[in-house]
Amino acid sequence: MDQLWNQVSYLVHGKYALFTDPLTKGGGEKESYSVPTYESLVGITSSIYWKPTIIWVIDQLHVLKPIQMESRGVRPMDYNSPKPNLSYASYLCDVAYEVKAHFEWNKQRPDLKRDWNEDKHFAIANRAINAGGRRDIFLGTRECQGYVEPLTDSTQTSGPYDQIPEIDFGVMFHGFNYPDTNGRNQLDVRFWQAEMKNGVIKFPRPEECQLVRPNLRRMTSKNFDENNFSFVDDE
């Protein structure tokens, strides 16, 4: 993949992670995917820096530590029972990833076109990476705290799977199509055939996913005006 001018790279790591399929995590036992989903990486990158003007596109993920699972007992809150039930969740433990992503303009929001200043967005995004993100970082779920760092010369950039030609993860949740990006008042869900080559996962773009479940539910996009939005040139 060619290096894009506005592509950012960062290291994200944490003690635990839980990247679940959102269609099956409503209750009961939870088990993490072996690797982060595209949607979870969009969420992490958006927690570093986000504005409705831009859309983050995840280019690739480099797995820097062995894939390890750990089961932990949890007591989910049950308001219909005086005693909470004990359930188990299988977490990824001791995770670290190198993420590469770039931003594109949200063409569904022409009202924000005055905010299309690529140089400033790129500079702010890199400053946010150096600061560890603008908002808290979560690795799939709120109880799994994540930490973002810039990549430096001393950063470990080799992983345990770099010499393995290919690992197939099967059909995996990719992400959601939201109204503010697809231009329709509905929520769609995407899947893809996930695979890792030499420790690197290169994600297809959202529009390239062939497995799509349309119209999951009706949803409308949020409106922005001078009361809840500031243009990058004004910051």
pLDDT in tens, 72-96: 877 666 666 666 666 778 899 999 9
How confident is the model at residue 125, as a pLDDT? Answer: 96
If 0-12 CB within 10 Å is exposed, 13-18 middle and 19+ buried, where does residue 186 land?
middle
Residue-range domain boundaries for the chain:
7-174+197-210
Strands 167-177 and 7-17: unpaired
The most confident of the ranges 84-93, 188-197, 226-235 is: 188-197
The amino acid at 118: E
CA distance 235 to 117: 12
pTM of structure: 0.86
Strands of the sheet containing 211-218, edge to edge, are 167-177, 186-196, 211-218
Q: Which residue has the higher pLDDT, 40 or 226?
A: 40
CA distance 101 to 116: 18
Q: Which residue has the higher pLDDT, 95 or 235?
A: 95
Report the topology of domain 7-174+197-210: Alpha-Beta Plaits (3.30.70)
- Number of other residues whose CB lies within 10 A of the CB of residue 25: 15
| Strands in 106-207 per DSSP E | 137-138, 145-149, 167-177, 186-196, 200-202
Angle, vertex CA 191, rays to CA 185 and CA 197, nearest 5: 140
Query: Which residue in 141, 116, 111, 123 sits closest to 226, CA to CA?
Result: 111
Q: Is the pLDDT of residue 65 over 60?
A: yes
Q: Is the pLDDT of residue 184 over 60?
A: yes
Q: b/e string for 154-171 if b means 16 or more Cβ within 10 A?
A: eeeeebebeeeeebeeee
Residue pair 27/100 in contact by the 8 Å Cβ criterion: no
pLDDT in tens, 199-211: 999 999 999 999 8
CA distance 31 to 21: 9
Would the CA dihedral through 92, 96, 101, 106 be positive or negative? positive
